């Protein structure tokens, strides 16, 4: 008698900033270092919180507009300078949100392949997760600078799954922003949103399949879709 084939555990993809980690202290420090060297006024944590999620270019551009308008220096150069302040200091004040480490370990122990799909540059994402002792939990960490199209384009999610040796037939996205939800929807993947992240709109209005207030709620929420 042939034994029934057991379905392998589904892959789970995670956004990084605002989902796994509260990186606002270090993003703010790097941005204000850039502004200080330009002779511009500092910005606040509240401002930076509302600008995060689309990658370094839009973040720097928004800071320029908020502190005096476009600079004569090219955006490309400004982003390079900003990342120079950030690199090597990604985990000074950044910490995982409560419950993240133990929940990730539990999901991995249950057999779920885990991956990070973030608009943050890949090298800086690796640096941060290495510093926090979390990088070994993930089969792939794919930043927005190493794909042809980044979130909200579904190609970013699918590229991350491919890097993990998985496909989108059994997968879940976990994020905090409209970009995460839109990318998952376009890829045909269910999505769980966290209520404590950096969303520029009310998290209840993101349109995710589930919304969690605490990261430890994720396994139960994920089980409903996987």
- Average pLDDT over the chain, rounded to an integer: 95
Annotated catalytic residue, options 15, 22, 26, 180: 15
- Tokens matching residue 174: 């976990």
What's the pLDDT score for residue 9? 85
Query: What is the structure's pLDDT at 226?
Result: 81
The pLDDT of 132-161, averaged and rounded, is 97
Answer yes or no: pTM beyond 0.75: yes
The answer on pLDDT for 1 being more than 60 is: no
Distance CA 177, CA 151 (A): 10
pLDDT of res. 22: 98
15 is catalytic: yes
Residue 5 confidence (pLDDT) above 70: no
Domains and CATH numbers, the chain: 11-22+95-223 (3.40.50.1000), 24-86 (1.10.150.240)
Task: Indicate left, alpha or beta for 212 from its phi (over 0: left) and psi (-120 to 50: alpha).
Answer: beta
Residue 4, pLDDT above cutoff 90: no
Q: What would the pLDDT profile of 172-194 be if each residue is shown by its tens digit?
A: 999 999 999 999 999 999 999 99
Average of pLDDT values for 158-166? 96
- Band of residue 15 on the pLDDT scale cut at 50, 70, 90: very high
Do the Cβ atoms of 142 and 120 come closer than 8 Å?
no
Cis peptide, bond prior to residue 152, ω within 30 of zero: yes
pLDDT digits (tens, 9 = 90+) for 77-129: 999 999 999 999 999 999 999 999 999 999 999 999 999 999 999 999 999 99
């Amino acid at each position: 008698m042939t034994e029934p084939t057991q379905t392998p555990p589904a892959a789970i993809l995670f956004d990084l900033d605002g989902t796994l980690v509260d990186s606002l202290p270090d993003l703010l420090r790097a941005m204000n270092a850039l502004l200080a060297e330009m002779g511009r006024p500092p910005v606040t944590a509240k401002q930076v919180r509302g600008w995060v999620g689309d990658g370094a270019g839009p973040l720097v551009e928004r800071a320029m507009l908020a502190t005096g308008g476009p600079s004569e220096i090219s955006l490309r150069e400004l982003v390079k300078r900003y990342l120079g302040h950030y690199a090597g200091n990604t985990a000074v004040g950044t910490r995982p949100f409560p419950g993240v480490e133990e929940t990730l370990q539990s999901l991995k122990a249950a057999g779920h392949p885990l991956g990070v799909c973030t608009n943050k540059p890949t090298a800086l994402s690796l640096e941060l997760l290495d510093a926090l002792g979390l990088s070994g939990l993930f089969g792939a960490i794919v930043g927005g600078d190493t794909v042809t199209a980044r979130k909200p384009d579904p190609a970013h999610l699918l590229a991350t799954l491919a890097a993990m040796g998985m496909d989108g037939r059994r997968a879940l996205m976990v994020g905090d922003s409209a970009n995460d939800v839109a990318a998952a929807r376009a890829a045909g993947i269910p999505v769980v949103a966290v209520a404590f992240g950096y969303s520029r709109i009310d998290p209840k209005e993101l349109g995710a399949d589930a919304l969690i207030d605490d990261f430890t709620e994720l396994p139960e929420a994920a089980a409903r879709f996987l």
